[in-house]
Chains A and B, each alone.
Chain A
Amino acid sequence: MHRRTLLALAAAGLAATSLAGTTVGAQAQEIFKIGLILPMTGASASTGRQIEAAAKLYMAQNGDTVAGKKVQLIVKDDTGVADVTKRLAQELIVNDKVGAVAGFGLTPLALSVAPLATQAKVPQVVMAAATATITEASPFIVRTSFTLPQATQPMAEWASANGMKKVVTLVTDYGPGIDAEKTFTATFTKAGGTVENMRVPLANPDFSPFLQKVADAKPDALFVFVPSGYGAQFMRQFTERGLDKSGIKLIGTGDVTDDDLLNGMGDAALGVVTSHHYSAVHDSAENKAFVAAFKKAAGFRPNFMGVGGYDGMHVLYEGLKKTNGVGGEALVNAIKGMAWTSVRGPVSIDPQTRDIIQNVYIRKVEKVDGELHNVEFATIPNVKDPVKAAKAN
């Protein structure tokens, strides 16, 4: 037998079986499909797990029928690679006829799908990616996570109000990190402080040279943004270097003290002050119920990613109720201006920018019931994304 024939046959057979498996039959009108595209493997896998668990929890709690339609969740793994995300979204839209795509763990992943959402008029719910500009990429994008400037600005204000004069910023060198750096620098210098900027490459196993530079600069505080997976490593090296004892305060956005990982960081994390929109010990009845249910279902603590996924499902459900099950542009319009009490506190979707407006809390890492938690001690209510707010004015 010819090798090529054999291999071609094998390939064809494989193609036939695998293609047949995913081809959808007649579309029942009563089903509303949501394509959930997440990094389930690779470096950002934990983001995917959080959001998937939260989305499934939401559906378990609220039933899978909305406005007479059965909601079906299709989870896809994009491995954190943008062209795969785009292809999966396209396949979901074209083949599975999904009513909405959701998820998107990283900025480029969300951006790659934006033109598609516009073209196909399919709502795109961003549940994680946090660069400010994402919602501008398509009028069909709605965001239920946060933007980094949104979380950063209150931190800068708090720092300057609490007598800090000189701060070094240390951010990971990519979209959200640069967003955080710019916002912090602008806000803090406007308030009369001085800032020195430093950027760390994304793939960076060892923070020691950067921390040494920080130690040499002797600032009042170090403002840090690193993607959530790197926070723990950073924190431990910060303590190891003795920077905590040299009087340099560690401040940052909540990514560094990610609830999912915080407890494992050990006492090194105690006393770190961060600003963020969600803490697993946020004091409300809604949140307590959520955390308990989440832990029971998933086996780990929810973090801000999980909450983004939970609220993302919420806007879709509530939007569908308003439109009576109609998707597309009507659904986006129904979501605009929506306000509700989330587990993170009162939130709403800005009708102009389709970005989330929410409280940002200043928190400090403390021990609660023997576990490390971000304990909220100050609230800045109803923060809009400052980048887009500045553009609007």
Chain B
Amino acid sequence: MSHASADSFVQSGIVARTLARRGRWRAPEILFWLAALASIWLLPDRHLILNEIAIIGLFAVSLDLILGYAGIVSLGHAAFFGLGAYTAGLIAKHFALDPLIGLVGAAATAAALGWVTSFLVLRGADLTRLMVTLGVALILAEVANQAAWLTGGADGLQGVIMPAILGRFEFDIFGTTAYVYSLAVTFVLFVIARRIVVSPFGLSLRAIRDNPLRARAVGIPVNARLIAVYTLAAAYAGVAGALLAQTTQFVSLDVIAFHRSADVLLVLVIGGTGYLYGGLVGAVVFKLLQDWLASITPQYWLFWIGLILIVLVLADRDRLTARLTAAWRARAPGPAGGAGPANGPHATPASGER
């Protein structure tokens, strides 16, 4: 499959036009967020699971930043999620600071870890990266387990009491504050992520994803870009973890466990990579399915989830997404001619992964 040559991006005003066009908000997107907003009032007794969905959605968006846009497969993304959760939990426990400060702290520590470990994922193919990230997460999980004096070890971090957000909004037992808070944070971060991926920086990431050699040849600083996006994604994951810690007021080793990394990958792949909404949609679909199946058959819901996954793959998820993407592009406003080259790198992620 031939990719749009990266040098076409640096030519003339196409880039600026394309970027501006992509940056525009479209009706379905606005609808999506309106629906999310409406759910606050329409589904008052489901705020707890919606809160969880918002958090997992943000977590999946963070994974999408590196997987969908930079092509870095990670099976250890929970490392950042967990670090963020513990940071936020500890900040609340020992300093009783405002949750927003906790978020910033979590983003900072997770970003720091992301930056340090990003050097490990610069090299290697999919499988190597998969295992290196996994290894980092497993080691961190073991550190959290061993450092029981700090983290509470396998019993979990006890005594996390969250002060009210901005001193005004107390976390309530119905999860309403929690959901509104998580949704707001997710939305803000999503908007930022959306802005980033349609910037020249985001474009250069896609060039790297599609062909690192060529990207290097046209003068994109490949390693620097990968380090930057990995660090950014880590910060996002840290915030997601912090949200979980703050809204459940409890941190256990699960936040950093292998299944957390695997789940988020699953969620993202179900929703589709490389368009940011995949993580959110995947989170909604996966969580509700799981909740629904588990309430019907608490013992064997795993079977049905498995069956659905298989059917989803066999029904050719890629072609489905590709067709939808094509339809999406066709209706997007803008010069018809400009859509051609811009589509190149976009339509290929599925086949480009191999």
Q: Is B295 an interface residue (CB 8 A)?
A: yes
Q: Name the residue on A nearest B283 (C-beta).
A: A11
8 Å CB contacts to A: which residues of B32-63? 32, 35, 39, 43, 45-46, 48-49, 52
Q: For residue B148, give the distance in angstroms from its CB to the closest CB of chain A.
A: 8
B173–A120 touching, CB < 8 Å: yes
Measured between beta carbons, the chain A residues less than 8 angstroms from B26 are 2, 4
Q: Name the residue on A nearest B28 (C-beta).
A: A4
A19-B46, A83-B254 as given contacts; A7 in contact with B281, CB under 8 Å: yes
* Chain A CB within 10 Å, residue with most, of B249, B253, B254, B257: B254
Total inter-chain residue pairs, C-beta < 8 Å: 154
A108–B252 touching, CB < 8 Å: yes
A107-B154, A107-B155, A116-B173 as given contacts; A19 in contact with B254, CB under 8 Å: no
Q: Is A18 an interface residue (CB 8 A)?
A: yes
Q: Is B169 an interface residue (CB 8 A)?
A: no
B254–A81 touching, CB < 8 Å: yes
B156–A108 touching, CB < 8 Å: yes
| Contacting residue for B145 out of A3, A11, A202, CB 8 A | A202
Q: Name the residue on B nearest A174 (C-beta).
A: B154
Measured between beta carbons, the chain A residues less than 8 angstroms from B154 are 107-108, 173-175, 202
Measured between beta carbons, the chain A residues less than 8 angstroms from B257 are 81
A4–B32 touching, CB < 8 Å: yes
A94–B248 touching, CB < 8 Å: no
0/1 string, B298-323, CB within 8 A of A gives 1: 11011000000000000000000100
A21-B295, A112-B248 as given contacts; A173 in contact with B328, CB under 8 Å: no
Q: Is B324 an interface residue (CB 8 A)?
A: yes
B252–A7 touching, CB < 8 Å: no
Cα A19 to Cα B292 in complex, Å, equals 8
Cα A21 to Cα B293 in complex, Å, equals 11
Cα A201 to Cα B148 in complex, Å, equals 13
Measured between beta carbons, the chain A residues less than 8 angstroms from B45 are 23, 94-95
A19–B43 touching, CB < 8 Å: yes
Q: Is A111 an interface residue (CB 8 A)?
A: yes
B324–A3 touching, CB < 8 Å: yes
Cα A21 to Cα B32 in complex, Å, equals 23
B288–A3 touching, CB < 8 Å: no
Q: For residue A3, give the distance in angstroms from its CB to the closest CB of chain B.
A: 3
A1-B327, A2-B328, A77-B301 as given contacts; A175 in contact with B173, CB under 8 Å: no
Q: Is B187 an interface residue (CB 8 A)?
A: no
A14-B289, A40-B298 as given contacts; A108 in contact with B155, CB under 8 Å: yes
| Contacting residue for B249 out of A81, A115, A175, CB 8 A | A115
Q: Name the residue on A nearest B300 (C-beta).
A: A41
Q: For residue B304, give the distance in angstroms from its CB to the closest CB of chain A.
A: 12
* Chain A CB within 10 Å, residue with most, of B156, B257, B292: B156
Q: Is A389 an interface residue (CB 8 A)?
A: no
B254–A82 touching, CB < 8 Å: yes
Question: For the complex, would chain B's binding face be called helix, strand, loop or mixed by DSSP majority?
Answer: helix
Q: For residue B293, give the distance in angstroms from its CB to the closest CB of chain A.
A: 9
B298–A18 touching, CB < 8 Å: no
| Contacting residue for A91 out of B43, B48, B142, B299, CB 8 A | B48
Q: Is B158 an interface residue (CB 8 A)?
A: yes
Q: Name the residue on B nearest A14 (C-beta).
A: B288
Cα A137 to Cα B250 in complex, Å, equals 13
Measured between beta carbons, the chain B residues less than 8 angstroms from A26 are none
B48–A108 touching, CB < 8 Å: no
Measured between beta carbons, the chain B residues less than 8 angstroms from A87 are 48-49, 52, 248
8 Å CB contacts to B: which residues of A114-164? 115-116, 119-120, 131, 137
| Contacting residue for A2 out of B28, B271, B294, CB 8 A | B28
Q: For residue B92, give the distance in angstroms from its CB to the closest CB of chain A.
A: 13
Q: Is A265 an interface residue (CB 8 A)?
A: no
A41–B145 touching, CB < 8 Å: no
0/1 string, A75-100, CB within 8 A of B gives 1: 11100011100110011011100000
A41–B35 touching, CB < 8 Å: no
Cα A10 to Cα B327 in complex, Å, equals 17
A2-B28, A87-B248 as given contacts; A94 in contact with B174, CB under 8 Å: yes
B173–A8 touching, CB < 8 Å: no
Q: For residue B186, give the distance in angstroms from its CB to the closest CB of chain A.
A: 15
Cα A164 to Cα B299 in complex, Å, equals 45
A7–B173 touching, CB < 8 Å: no
Q: Name the residue on B nearest A199 (C-beta).
A: B146
Q: Name the residue on B nearest A7 (C-beta).
A: B281
A21–B35 touching, CB < 8 Å: no
Cα A3 to Cα B155 in complex, Å, equals 44
0/1 string, B268-287, CB within 8 A of A gives 1: 00010001010001001100
Q: Is B31 an interface residue (CB 8 A)?
A: yes
8 Å CB contacts to B: which residues of A14-44? 14-15, 17-19, 21-23, 38, 40-41
Q: For residue A90, give the distance in angstroms from its CB to the closest CB of chain B.
A: 5
Q: Is A5 an interface residue (CB 8 A)?
A: yes
Q: For residue A309, give the distance in angstroms from its CB to the closest CB of chain B.
A: 15
A18–B292 touching, CB < 8 Å: yes
Measured between beta carbons, the chain B residues less than 8 angstroms from A112 are 156, 248, 250, 252
Cα A212 to Cα B83 in complex, Å, equals 35
* Chain A CB within 10 Å, residue with most, of B27, B252, B324: B252
Cα A116 to Cα B48 in complex, Å, equals 13
A90-B173, A108-B155, A137-B158 as given contacts; A3 in contact with B327, CB under 8 Å: yes
A87-B49, A119-B173 as given contacts; A22 in contact with B250, CB under 8 Å: no
Cα A305 to Cα B44 in complex, Å, equals 36
Q: Is B153 an interface residue (CB 8 A)?
A: yes
| Contacting residue for B288 out of A7, A15, A41, A86, CB 8 A | A15
Q: Is A186 an interface residue (CB 8 A)?
A: no
Q: For residue A13, give the distance in angstroms from its CB to the closest CB of chain B.
A: 10
Q: Is B6 an interface residue (CB 8 A)?
A: no
Q: Name the residue on A nearest B257 (C-beta).
A: A81
Measured between beta carbons, the chain A residues less than 8 angstroms from B250 are 82-83, 86, 111-112, 115
Q: List 5 A-B contacts (CB under 8 A).
A: A1-B327, A3-B324, A41-B302, A111-B156, A115-B250
Knowing that A4-B31, A11-B284 touch, tell me 14 more A-B residue pairs with CB under 8 angstroms. A3-B321, A3-B328, A7-B271, A18-B288, A38-B298, A48-B299, A49-B299, A82-B254, A83-B252, A90-B175, A93-B173, A94-B174, A108-B252, A111-B156
What 6 pairs across the A-B complex have the smallest Cβ distances?
Answer: A3-B324, A174-B154, A18-B292, A82-B252, A4-B28, A77-B298
